[in-house]
Chain A
Amino acid sequence: MTSSFRFGAEAYTWFMNNNGLTHVNRLGHMIDITAQAGFAGIEPIFNWMGDLPDPESLAKKLNEQGVELAAIALALDWNGTEETEQERYEADRAIALLKHFPGALLCTVQKPTGRHDLEIRRQNLVNIVNRVSRRAVDQGIPCSFHPNSPHSSITRTEEDYRVILESLDASVTGWTPDVGHMINGGMDPLTKMKEYASLINLVHFKDWNGEPEFALLGKGKVDFDGITRWLIEQNYSGWIICEDEGPEAMDDPDGVTLHDGRWVYETLLPSVL
């Protein structure tokens, strides 16, 4: 048995400290650590790439370390019935950057702002995600929608998933199952992944122990062996991005990322292949 997917790191592991202020303008360093950890790719956060703001400098750094740009996470409020002018500007800038990196995905994320007016806001969000994704795909950039699970998120519960995922336009966007966010929202990740298998085009690994939420990869309750075996059976050939939000990441994101790389290549893969 062999696997056709590749593993990467997410910049969010560094973002956790002080809402990104501590490690601002250190994407280059994150790429260094990502390479040291043995990961094939990285997923930066758009608008948090200050030291490598243009495609030339980013490509140079990635090539230097042999790391590929897997995706860029675009996290915006998207609280209106359609994008605001500023939101559209930001999305278009992310799309323009990604055009220089064929195959890299635009990972769309809504910043959580509350569960009020839930039904209409879910619908608005889907419409916006579909429209942004359509603009990106028209430029040759694949897209993936990433639900999350803070209590103020409208993409948290099983019903949120049903309503939103079932309205995504599969011709312009797929879905990023984030296994830690799913279990945090009360779902079994593997069951949900099987239910919406045809939408999956990016995967985020995050562990969870419910104390109160996330844990270092390999230290929680997510069934990574089962999920990884299923992805292998499905011949999944995309990215699996380790977005470790365990408490250790607050103080030592470098160490956490290095741990994640060891865990993936020395523990997880040997147990499933």
Chain B
Amino acid sequence: MPFVETNGINLYYEERGTGEPLLLIMGITAPGSVWEKHADYWQQDFRCIMGDNRGVGQSDKPAGPYTTAQMADDYAGLIDKLGLQSVRVIGVSMGSTIAQQLALRHPDKVRSLVLMCPWARCDRTAEAIFRHMATIKARLRPEEFATYIQLLIYAKRSWDDDTMFAAFLTGRQQAAVDSSPQPLHGLEGQAEACITHNTLAELPTINKPCLVIGGQNDIFTPFWMSEEVAGAIPNSDLHLYEGAGHAFHWECIDDFNPRVRDWLLAH
């Protein structure tokens, strides 16, 4: 079990594949293993490094609140401990806010960025969603909480797809018996990091190539957030999948995986 001590915590990480390093930073509530369907593909071209964020999985879960700056420093320490130089970084949802902070606070460690469904700052709706997640985590059964997350992240096209819907039902059942669930205080810490994240004023200083990518129908982190981030980072490309939600990366995986690989190979 690989752990590094970084920024005062033990951070768990896994590696797959060979090639130049590609750091994958997952979103709120999810451990790094949730990158599986993407790492399966990208490992052919990159050495994929997947951490469990502070507050979830096998990493430490200290008392919160956390900040995205603090969580970025967690990964800066990981990069140092692995003896890496400048790495490509992909962050999804909360992971994309951490990736922004990594590029801002440790620019020498970042070669290029893929920011999936990012935000530069929360509006009232987003703040309410994150607070609500923490509130209902203590009140809903794990399978009910999983349903709420599914409602947030999947678009109509997925709900209407029999195969995807069957996977939703399975996911709820699995949540009910998960042997290492995210504890409430870990979610609270992460939610606070999401809410307090505000890098809009600093984003113009990021001089790395950046791909901002998301779903046009995202109701969790709406497309205006992606547009705001892409508009603020000078050297950025923007791609929004029509009809896709927050989970666009699974909903459009046949296009998403090679598109991101190609962009990374070029940047």
Residues of A within 8 A of B (CB): 123, 127, 134, 162, 165-172, 194-199
Contacts and interface: CB of A to CB of B under 8 A. Distances in A.
A82 to B, nearest CB: 12
B183 A168 contact: yes
Contacts of B180: 167
Contact of A171 (B63, B137, B179, B186): B137
Contacts, number: 44
Contact of A198 (B138, B141, B145, B179): B138
Contacts of A168: 183
Given A166-B61, A167-B179, A167-B180, A198 B139 contact: no
Contacts of B61: 162, 166
Interface size class, chain B: 10 to 19
B185 interface: yes
A167 B181 contact: yes
Contact of A196 (B138, B181, B185): B185
B142 interface: yes
Contacts of B188: 198
B181 A171 contact: no
Nearest to A138: B141
Nearest to B134: A198
Nearest to B142: A169
Nearest to A134: B141
Given A194-B63, A195-B62, A198-B188, A167 B137 contact: no
A172 B141 contact: yes
Contact of A170 (B62, B63, B179, B184): B184
Contact of A195 (B63, B137, B139): B63
A171 B185 contact: no
A199 B140 contact: no
A166 B186 contact: yes
A171 B145 contact: yes
Given A170-B137, A171-B138, A171-B141, A199 B185 contact: yes
B34 to A, nearest CB: 18
A198 B142 contact: no
A171 B145 CA distance: 10
B186 A170 contact: no
B181 A169 contact: yes
Q: Which of A165, A171, A195: most chain B Cβ within 10 A?
A: A171
A197 B63 CA distance: 9
